[in-house]
Amino acid sequence: MGVLLGAYILGLTLPSAGFSLPVDGWLGLATQYAPAVVCWIVAVRTRFRRGTVVLAALALTSFALGNTYYVAAAAGGAELPYPSLADVGYLLFYPLMLCALAVLIRRLRALTLPVLLDSAVGAMGASAVLAVLLSPVLDSAVAGPLSLGTVVAVAFPLFDLLLVAAVVGIAATQVFQSGRRWILLTLGLLVLAAADVVYALRLSAGTYEVGTPLDAGWAIGLALVAIWVDGAERSPAGAQRTHTGAWTLVVPAAATAAGLAVLILSSRTQESALAVALAALTLVFAAVRTQLAFRELVKMGDLRRQVFTDDLTGLPNRRALYADVPERLTNCEGGRSALLLLDLDRFKEVNDSLGHDIGDRLLVQVGERLSGQLRPGDLLARLGGDEFALLLDDAGPELAVAVADNLHTLLAAPFTLAGIAVQTDVSIGIALYPEQGNDFRALLRRADMAMYKAKAARTGHHVFVSSDDRHGDDRLRTLQELRTALTRDELVLHYQPKVDLDTGEVHGVEALVRWHHPVRGLLYPDAFLELVEEAGLMREMTNLVLRKALDQAVIWQAQGTPLTVAVNLSASSLMDAELPERVAAMVDERGLDTSALALEITEDFLMADRGRGKAILTRLREAGIQIAIDDFGTGYSSLAYLRDLPIDELKLDRSFVMPMAGDPRAAALVASTIHLAHSLGLRMVAEGVEDAASLDQLVGFGCDHAQGFYLSRPVAAADLERWLASRAEGALTT
């Protein structure tokens, strides 16, 4: 098809007088029948089960048959009547292609109201501009008496207008994969429409001639559509709905500007009523979309406040602490801070003897007393249970100890709860930045060790010292064993399936690393990943996990069951400037499509270096790798990164999913988060599905995928294959 198209374009550039049978006839027909043949081959390959493919094949065939009639008449020297059978073939192309696009849209479930409004704005804006361009053709067509020729003459530009509106409207939804295949479809249809518009304008002006490079426009457009049909059929079924956040504003914004420009132009020149009406509709839809976006932002702001606020005390929660503290440590005055970890003593006794409601009131009053002691710049948060954390800005050991003494005295005073005087005590662990930890996680871990030391010694408070790390020797030994494990292939991958809640099918899995320790048996990541990060071995482990996951993807593809494998990346991995090229090379050398791999990151990767991390993610996304946010809601849940980063999928953390059945507020948060994801064109995956009730709720909320122990635990590849086979057999028997 490419050779024919190249030869045809070359032939059109050669000088000729009028119609040339070899070039305009036989070669021109060949460039139009070749795309139709490609589409029919794809239709046969898919057993005529994909309506989009069949309709596209019919559309291209109709266009080629119409041109055959035209060429036959031109070769015989006959002058065609207007309209003729050639016009029938040309005209049929449009409704068939529009139907193909309609079938394509019906397969999508991400068409929420905001997405539909974006589509409407794009379609109306493009139509308004095209109506201005086509106004000479429309005016000349309707100027004469009404006849069949007039109807046909008007039908061509109106069909072009509909086609451009449909293509731009689909582009505005951004629910398709942003790879080259979908660009080919959009470009092909726009090239066809552009060729029609130029042809109509030249014909209206009496300047059209057969055999010019303009004639190649239809051949190029048809070829691009055929290439898209073939490529779309070959792509995995689960890789058709992704999203790039920054693109969502481009098409609606450009369409709104175009509609406004048409209205301004109409105030200075005489434009058609159709163009003015379409431009006005563009602005109406844009105004409605803006109002809806404002409401969504308000809801997202409320959701963010709920996510970062402790329900009981109204203090910042653990998520807020993880989000705020890294930046505070980086920007702290004097370059030093102190983290105090507070744990109430005998709190369990209050709960057991007086009830949980009294215990809750105690926690509220503790939070109020602690809040009254804060200095400007200090941060107090409730970590959960009876634990509180206090970050002191510009504080050394002397000030930290003095504050701990003051808080110990403050909380020792009795609390009055429901007429009962309750007395409690507190143990406080202190860790200093940067001496005892250069990041928040290390600081929190050491404050926790110091707090347990204070509780055991009943000293009230304790400042961390290196000897508090009771597991230092064990950690060193484990680290050496870990280095050996990386060279002896002791690390293995288990796979947990992600089930499509709409179809029940499995198109992807999450790869989870395990360590087959020669003495301690199978170890889970929490037993060694922290050591990997501290020892600087994360790059080596990440490469190993990627290789193993992609090798398994090759095996599954060879077995006829291709699965997208998701691999978790650490924050340090996203600071590796060579990561995108290395990942792309791994995929390419195995002959896999980039859709075979997805990368999952946690929100706290932004804490390290947001700008650099964004650049790495953007390069990965440009290479075709899908990006998912793992444990969504537990880390840096900023609205900004949902807009700015190239994200395809959100994975809702299990801490939101598991309590849904008995907690209406948790269920409301899950439903709101799913709606938020869909409003932004993102897929939503729910983690931690442990029972049928949670699964049913997620289906009702419109969640896209789910994974959890209720569906399947992470298992070895062979066990996963047996699990998939048993599901397939169960589906056949039912």
pLDDT by residue (tens digit) across 623-636?
999 999 888 877 54
- pLDDT value for 581: 92
Does domain 318-470 sit in CATH 3.30.465.10? no
Asked which of 79-88, 449-458, 466-475 is least confident by mean pLDDT, the reply is: 466-475
CATH number of the 473-733 domain = 3.20.20.450
User: What span, in angstroms and rounded, lies between the C-alpha atoms of 25 and 18?
Assistant: 12
- pLDDT value for 448: 87
CB distance 243 to 174 below 8 Å: yes
Name the residue with higher pLDDT: 291 or 649: 649
User: What span, in angstroms and rounded, lies between the C-alpha atoms of 447 and 462?
Assistant: 9
Sequence length of the chain is 734
Closest CA to 254 of 361, 118, 401: 118
CB distance 604 to 570 below 8 Å: no
Write the burial class of residue 457 (CB in 10 Å: 0-12 exposed, 13-18 middle, 19+ buried): exposed
Q: Is the pLDDT assigned to residue 41 strictly greater than 90?
A: yes
Average pLDDT over residues 20-25: 84
User: What span, in angstroms and rounded, lies between the C-alpha atoms of 323 and 326?
Assistant: 7
Asked which of 28-42, 138-152, 605-619 is least confident by mean pLDDT, the reply is: 138-152
- pLDDT value for 565: 97
Which amino acid would we find at residue 720?
Answer: L
User: What span, in angstroms and rounded, lies between the C-alpha atoms of 524 and 30?
Assistant: 61
Closest CA to 408 of 335, 309, 340: 340
Task: Provide, rounded to the nearest whole percent, the portion of the chain with pLDDT above 70.
Answer: 84
What tens digit of pLDDT does each residue of 236-278 get? Answer: 444 444 444 445 567 677 778 888 888 888 878 877 787 788 8
User: What span, in angstroms and rounded, lies between the C-alpha atoms of 220 and 226?
Assistant: 10
Which amino acid would we find at residue 133?
Answer: L
Helix and strand tally (H, E) in the chain? 25, 16
Q: Is the pLDDT assigned to residue 2 strictly greater than 60?
A: yes
pLDDT band at 639 (very low <50, low <70, confident <90, very high): low
What tens digit of pLDDT does each residue of 170-202 get? Answer: 766 654 444 456 678 778 888 887 888 787 777
Angular region, 394: left φ>0, alpha ψ -120 to 50, beta rest: left
Asked which of 420-424, 481-485, 637-641, 703-707 is least confident by mean pLDDT, the reply is: 637-641
CB distance 157 to 197 below 8 Å: yes
- pLDDT value for 255: 75
- pLDDT value for 240: 46
- pLDDT value for 515: 93
- pLDDT value for 243: 46
pLDDT band at 163 (very low <50, low <70, confident <90, very high): confident
- pLDDT value for 223: 92
CB distance 123 to 169 below 8 Å: yes
User: What span, in angstroms and rounded, lies between the C-alpha atoms of 532 and 488?
Assistant: 16
pLDDT band at 715 (very low <50, low <70, confident <90, very high): very high
pLDDT band at 406 (very low <50, low <70, confident <90, very high): very high
Which amino acid would we find at residue 429?
Answer: G
Asked which of 161-175, 217-231, 354-368, 650-664 is least confident by mean pLDDT, the reply is: 161-175
What percentage of the chain's residues is helix, strand, coil (to nearest 5)?
A: 65, 15, 25
User: What span, in angstroms and rounded, lies between the C-alpha atoms of 244 and 182?
Assistant: 14
Domain spans of the chain?
A: 2-282, 318-470, 473-733
Q: DSSP 3-state assignment of 631? A: strand
- pLDDT value for 727: 86
Average pLDDT across the chain, whole number:
82
Closest CA to 174 of 109, 235, 243: 243
What tens digit of pLDDT does each residue of 278-323 get? Answer: 888 888 878 887 887 777 777 766 666 667 888 888 899 888 888 8
- pLDDT value for 181: 64
What tens digit of pLDDT does each residue of 223-246 get? Answer: 998 998 887 666 544 444 444 444
- Angstrom CA distances, 214 to 26, 71, 94, 149, 219, stand at 17, 16, 19, 24, 10
pLDDT band at 64 (very low <50, low <70, confident <90, very high): very high
Q: Tokens for 730, please give them.
A: 């169960």
Asked which of 477-481, 564-568, 671-675 is least confident by mean pLDDT, the reply is: 477-481
Q: Is the pLDDT assigned to residue 123 strictly greater than 50?
A: yes
